[in-house]
Structure 1
Amino acid sequence: MKKLFTNYKATFEGLSKEVWWLSLITLINRAGTMVIPFLSLYLTQSLGFTFSDVGLIMVFFGLGSVAGSKLGGYLADKIGYYKVMAVSLFLTGVLFVLLQFITTLNAFCAAIFILMMVADTFRPAMFVALSSYSKPENKTRSVTLIRLAINLGFSAGPAIGGLIITTMGYQGLFWVDGITCILATVLLIKVLNPKKARVLDEVKVENPVSVYSDKPYWIFLVAMALFGIVFLQYFSTIPLYYKEAHHLSELEIGLLLGANGIIIVFLEMPLVKWLEDSKQTKVSLMLIGGVLVTMSFIVLNMTSWVGILIIGMFFMTIGEMIMFPFSNAYAMERAKKGNQGQYMSWYSISFSVAHVFGHFSGMHLIEKVGFDNTWYIVFGLSLLSGIFLLVLKNKPDSLKVKLT
């Protein structure tokens, strides 16, 4: 047992102090994002919206995310990642508190657009900061540590969120989410002041390559957008599936979603380290991750046994643990060719586009064709994502980005 712990601890060695602080800030922030997994339930059960209404709201959720990701990348290149992260976190906290007072469909669409536009300026700025605070050989593990913090927050968030709903109602979620964002802002100002933080890999490109002329990167972005549509069903239609098809309570849903984060906390860093040592390319590993996430939906149609939900969650979790660290690392390495903010904003936008189409189409499909047929359609989209990754894998230029 001691040797196992020692080996686990060794996977974290060599990461900079700034990366650890950034991870803690992310943990505090994400622990409060318990509103998001329960948003579809809140909108249908507390506000009385239909599935189609929820889908429309999620379109504005995604559009705000697209606008925020684009704006965040632009501002990170112009004024620096630190200012963008600080302002985004603070305003997001304020807006989450105010969101609970919006009750009409049109107003909620507008409010969620503004909230996500402000919130998602943080993401490309955070990726640029992470790249700057990491040595080149530690990029993938630094990304993994950030994801560990995100998922540790997500593992606690839904479980606590389910408890808050049963004791305080849905409004309690908005207060907790807003307060944690503001606390994360305070910590960011205290520990990541540019005058104190060390920059370990500052990339200055004299003649930056425009992201618009980087064809392999666009193939990668299309694959990520399609994968995002598939993955994001776990934040909209899957919670409804748990509730409607298997009659799970909010607390049970929170615990099941929280199990995803717990598995990631204990297994992702060792898994990523082992996969790095395997010398597989990032694209090959992304393909493996995509296959596992696909399987998480297919198994749901195999039986009505409630235990299949745990199996599906396990497949999704392992696939996610492979897909996201290596796709993040691929994007950061590719970004060294041009303006980092621009590159990372488009990486964020690929998932924002998934928000635009994924939630709405998923909600519309379960209303029109039912859950089982929806999962078959999701399977088809996942296959299409895999085809784009295969094309990327076979392009010689994509092999220039080495596995760090």
Structure 2
Amino acid sequence: MSPASLRRAVRESVSGLPPAFWWLWTSTLVNRLGAFVATYMALYLTLDRGYSASYAGLVAALHGLGGVISSLGAGVMTDRLGRRPTLLIAQTSTAFSVALLGFMHHPAAIAAVAFLVGMASNASRPAVQAMMADIVRPEDRVRAFSLNYWAINLGFAVSSAGAGFIAEVSYLAGFLIEGAMTLACAIVVFLKLPESRPARTAGDRAEDDEVGLGTVLRDGRFMGVVGLSFLVALIFQQGAVGLPVAMGEAGFTPADYGLAIAVNGVLIVALQIPVTRFIEHRDPQWLLVVSSLLAGYGFALTAFAGSVAAFALTVCVWTLAEIVNAPTQTGVVVRLSPVHGRGRYQGMYTMSWSVAALVAPLMSGVFLDHLGAEWLWGACALIGTIAAAGYWLLMRSLPREPAPAEPKPVAVRPLPDTLPDGEPSITPG
């Protein structure tokens, strides 16, 4: 591709999105650039504090459990309080709880604060996704979610590289830097992102009162998507929990695993935007079917890998699945969500990934300890096949266009936090 073609492709990928999206995107990037703690928490607890690997696993599980619990609560807050207040509460709480975690010494205190960090850090996700759905036109949403996913991975790649250097100097510095950068995200939200929740009529308020968590649970098609997203997430999680253990048992070093898994981040950063241009207006049913199969059988190929290069090739396969699946699935969730219930629906969807993060280590442990790595990779293929069949059946009648009740996206502008009636002001786009 020539430089001119590349510039044109980049311009087309980022054009047409509202300024509010880019402030939200910036907040996401800054947040992920400062995500040091998750990268070296296990090393911090075992090497610096001298705790056992079992205790480190317990802390990680509590951190994940906090995320599971907060997913639903944050979804409700997003719909009732608004996107902006939820983001401010979540990011401010994350900033202070992460900083506090660096000063904890007693095992029970570390575990308790880690649980709070998990709750706070996961609470912003439903609000971010709901706000993007509010401010971006329906035809641009897959592209917007893709750009946001790209920012997450770019930030994580940089923070992962920097975490090691910071840890060599001071683990406490890592906690404080992450707290400061998360607080910077809250400041960006406070200064640049007014409330985006669509203005409500009296009829909308009555409808909103009827959209509770029970409504979400009774929505058969949506809960089917949530269940399928859990299966796909269960596969992708093996890149972080099953793959390193399997490679270690096969005689490979941590550095070998680092080289193989680095391909994941590099490919996402390099290919997320061009791949999104290719898939943006294609049938989400087939995109999810194909990505599920690529994920399952990409991990299945790991059973035949005998070198670092071969492992890296398998990572390429399931990374392509991840690039296609992430923005497509998030866009489908938005299309299936009622306008004034987006927070609750996004919270339920977020929870599926949080639960997968808890279940995946147990799954890989059982297979690797009792059956062998080949059975784990075979199970990934089976799960991917089931997910693909599920998407094919569930989405055959998915509307091709947004529902008629979908309001025109709003253009937000800086305004006072609230008006006399307590509702944030919105200017229709």
Q: TM-score range by the shorter chain?
A: 0.7 to 0.9
Residue-by-residue CA offset, 1:49-102 (whole Å, 9 max, x unaligned): 666555544432332112111111111111111011012112112222233445
Question: Which residues in structure 2 correspond to 1:192-341 (within 5 Å)?
Answer: 192-194=193-195, 199=196, 205=204, 207=207, 210-241=215-246, 245-249=251-255, 257-277=261-281, 279-280=282-283, 282-336=284-338, 339-341=341-343
Alignment-mate amino acid for residue 225 of structure 1: F
Alignment-mate amino acid for residue 90 of structure 2: S
Is the contact between residue 96 and residue 115 of structure 1 (CA under 8 Å) also seen in structure 2?
A: yes
Match of 2:176 in 1: 175
Query: Aligned-pair distance for 1:317?
Result: 1.6
For the pair shown, which has the larger CA radius of gyration, 1 or 2?
2
| TM-score of the superposed pair, with normalisation by structure 1 | 0.86
Distance in 2 separating the partners of 1:218 and 1:303: 36
How much identity, in percent, do the aligned residues show? 23
Moved more, 230-239 or 28-37: 230-239
Query: Aligned-pair distance for 1:309?
Result: 2.6
Aligned length: 392
Q: Which has the higher contact order (CA 8 A, sep 6+)?
A: 1
1:40 and 1:318, CA in 2 relative to 1: closer, same or farther beyond 3 A?
A: farther
* Structure 1 position 137 matched with structure 2 position 142: no
Alignment-mate amino acid for residue 268 of structure 1: Q
Alignment-mate amino acid for residue 222 of structure 1: G
Distance in 2 separating the partners of 1:211 and 1:42: 39
Question: Which residues in structure 2 correspond to 1:23-172 (within 5 Å)?
Answer: 23-43=25-45, 46=48, 53-102=55-104, 106-165=108-167, 167-168=168-169, 170-172=171-173
1:203 and 1:323, CA in 2 relative to 1: closer, same or farther beyond 3 A?
A: farther
Match of 2:422 in 1: none
Alignment-mate amino acid for residue 221 of structure 1: V
Alignment-mate amino acid for residue 351 of structure 2: I
Match of 2:386 in 1: 384
Distance in 1 separating the partners of 2:181 and 2:263: 21
Query: Aligned-pair distance for 1:372?
Result: 4.3
Is the contact between residue 64 and residue 117 of structure 1 (CA under 8 Å) also seen in structure 2?
A: yes
Distance in 1 separating the partners of 2:39 and 2:296: 20
1:17 and 1:330, CA in 2 relative to 1: closer, same or farther beyond 3 A?
A: same
1:94 and 1:193, CA in 2 relative to 1: closer, same or farther beyond 3 A?
A: same
Is the contact between residue 39 and residue 163 of structure 2 (CA under 8 Å) also seen in structure 1?
A: no
Is the contact between residue 293 and residue 381 of structure 2 (CA under 8 Å) also seen in structure 1?
A: no
Query: Aligned-pair distance for 1:286?
Result: 1.2
Match of 1:400 in 2: 399
Distance in 1 separating the partners of 2:51 and 2:26: 36
Query: Aligned-pair distance for 1:214?
Result: 1.6
Distance in 2 separating the partners of 1:234 and 1:203: 43
1:363 and 1:160, CA in 2 relative to 1: closer, same or farther beyond 3 A?
A: farther
Query: Aligned-pair distance for 1:151?
Result: 1.1
Alignment-mate amino acid for residue 137 of structure 1: E
Distance in 2 separating the partners of 1:372 and 1:163: 36
- Give 5+ residue unaligned stretches, structure 1: none
Residue-by-residue CA offset, 1:289-339 (whole Å, 9 max, x unaligned): 122222332222213211123212212221111001000000011113651
Moved more, 379-388 or 306-315: 379-388
Distance in 2 separating the partners of 1:32 and 1:4: 29
Residue-by-residue CA offset, 1:242-298 (whole Å, 9 max, x unaligned): 56642033xx75665454333223321221221134x32x12211211222223322
1:122 and 1:12, CA in 2 relative to 1: closer, same or farther beyond 3 A?
A: same
Distance in 1 separating the partners of 2:315 and 2:39: 14
